[in-house]
Structure 1
Amino acid sequence: MKENRKTLILFLDCGDTLIDEGTEIRDEHDVVLSAELIPGAGETVKRLADRGYTLALVADGLAQSFKNILMQNGIYELFDTMIYSETIKASKPDRRMFKAAVGALDLTEADYGRIAMVGNNLSRDVKGANALGITSVHLAWTPRYPRTPADDSEHPDYVINEPLELLELAERLNAEAERQYRIHF
């Protein structure tokens, strides 16, 4: 257990949130063998972990892909838990993905208000978080995915344009969560 644990819990997507999907090299089984971090992503994850945030990877894809690319980029060990669609047998926005992360962190529905999901995909990350009352943060870094919500279910609570912007937003959301939950770790 980390000392000085923050009240806010961060769920992070991987592709085009941490890893630049355009740099992925895959094998014949569609496993990602290597990929580069998007600018500022590694520093952001390291600084969030150093500051005491609980970090959960909540990502669609193959477990071995994430292990390969996150270990290669030196951030694998910074996550408190990792939830993959391959092992859950569901993909975001399916609530099972988010509930698996909540369960893995030994949290309950009462904790949803102190969780923020950060991802690049409005129809998966934002819609899934919104459906559960989890704060949604859209990282609008990539042009590969829509930046305009298709409907109200895809409207994010916050929009950031690069990973480093998450550092300030996390501090603001944590301060709000501490006031609301009055929890000190």
Structure 2
Amino acid sequence: MAGTVVFDLDGTLADTSGDLIAAANACFTGRGLDPLLDPVADALIAFHGGRAMLRAGYARMAADTLLPPGAEDEDYARLLVHYGEAIAVHTKLYPGTEAALDALADAGHILAVCTNKPEALAETLLRELGIRDRFAAMIGADTLPVRKPDPRPYQAAVERAGGIVTRSFLVGDTETDRKTATAAGVPVALVAFGPEGEALTRLAPEAMLAHFDDLPALAADWLA
């Protein structure tokens, strides 16, 4: 009997850090500041969300630089606009992503996405990457009133895809994904090829994926 494999998006299916950081830097330069984030060195910050990038950049401003009240909210709104206009310039699927999705589908498994990226942006990105039709459901940060690590977005992703939560597992790349899986009562496989790499073993996931080539066999084992 097949099951459901649910994927996070940023840092799991695709390396989106370059485009996310470019959007944040556009906000900084729009205020007359330098680009304050580095697309390589700050990749991990990008996967913690837009506000995390803005705050990291603000912390690097000159000590005598003052921001007006409400600057973070204004810049966050601008960041979403900048990002939406250039969402797949640098973003690439991780090696083996499409082959793994094909293998899972061929084995009869249902695929879904559960991400803390806003739903409209996630839909756009998946289409730009050419893989939206691989997934039977997609739940974003604002699809429901709650977001990961609350288990309800994960449960909704499985159920809307036509699956059963007890015959599913999550593939992710952050502590949020670890907590989501625990709250939903399902196993999690964390990817070792994202920005944190093998450091994610500290979260004691049920599995670490060195490459997407390993995912079909893992699914066969866990969903057998």
Q: What TM-score bracket applies, with the shorter chain setting the length?
A: 0.7 to 0.9
1:22 Cα deviation (Å)? Answer: 2.7
> Are 1:9 and 1:53, in contact at CA under 8 Å, matched by a contact in 2?
yes
- The separation in 2 between residues aligned to 1:89 and 1:131, in whole angstroms, is 17
Within a 5 Å distance, the mapping from 1:69-148 to structure 2 comes to 69-106=125-162, 111-121=164-174, 123-144=175-196, 146-148=199-201
Corresponding residue SS for 2:208:
strand
> Are 2:5 and 2:170, in contact at CA under 8 Å, matched by a contact in 1?
yes
How far does the alpha carbon of each residue in 1:14-63 deviate from its partner, in whole angstroms, 9 at most, with x for none? 11111112343656524362121111112212222233210110111122
What TM-score do you get using the length of structure 1 for normalisation? 0.77
- State the structure with more CA Rg: 2
Instruction: Name the structure with the higher helix share.
Output: 2
- The separation in 2 between residues aligned to 1:171 and 1:106, in whole angstroms, is 19
- The separation in 2 between residues aligned to 1:28 and 1:124, in whole angstroms, is 21
Aligned to 1:40: 96
Aligned AA for 1:39? P
Q: Does 1:161 align with 2:210?
A: yes
Instruction: Name the structure with the higher strand share.
Output: 1
Note closer, same or farther for the CA distance 1:162–1:23 as it changes in structure 2 (3 Å cut).
farther
**How many pairs are equivalent?**
162
Deviation larger for 139-148 or 75-84? 139-148
1:144 Cα deviation (Å)? Answer: 4.1
Which structure 2 segments of 5+ residues have no match?
Answer: 24-78
- The separation in 1 between residues aligned to 2:93 and 2:191, in whole angstroms, is 14
- The separation in 2 between residues aligned to 1:7 and 1:43, in whole angstroms, is 18
Deviation larger for 73-82 or 37-46? 37-46
1:165 Cα deviation (Å)? Answer: 1.2
Which structure 1 segments of 5+ residues have no match?
Answer: 1-5, 176-185
> Are 1:83 and 1:100, in contact at CA under 8 Å, matched by a contact in 2?
yes
How far does the alpha carbon of each residue in 1:78-133 deviate from its partner, in whole angstroms, 9 at most, with x for none? 101011112223221112211222332355xxx43311101011x21111111221
> Are 1:23 and 1:36, in contact at CA under 8 Å, matched by a contact in 2?
no
> Are 2:137 and 2:158, in contact at CA under 8 Å, matched by a contact in 1?
no
1:12 Cα deviation (Å)? Answer: 0.6
Corresponding residue SS for 1:87:
coil
Aligned to 2:4: 9
Note closer, same or farther for the CA distance 1:106–1:78 as it changes in structure 2 (3 Å cut).
closer
Aligned to 1:172: 221
Corresponding residue SS for 2:9:
coil
Aligned AA for 1:83? I
Identity of aligned residues (%): 27
> Are 1:17 and 1:163, in contact at CA under 8 Å, matched by a contact in 2?
no
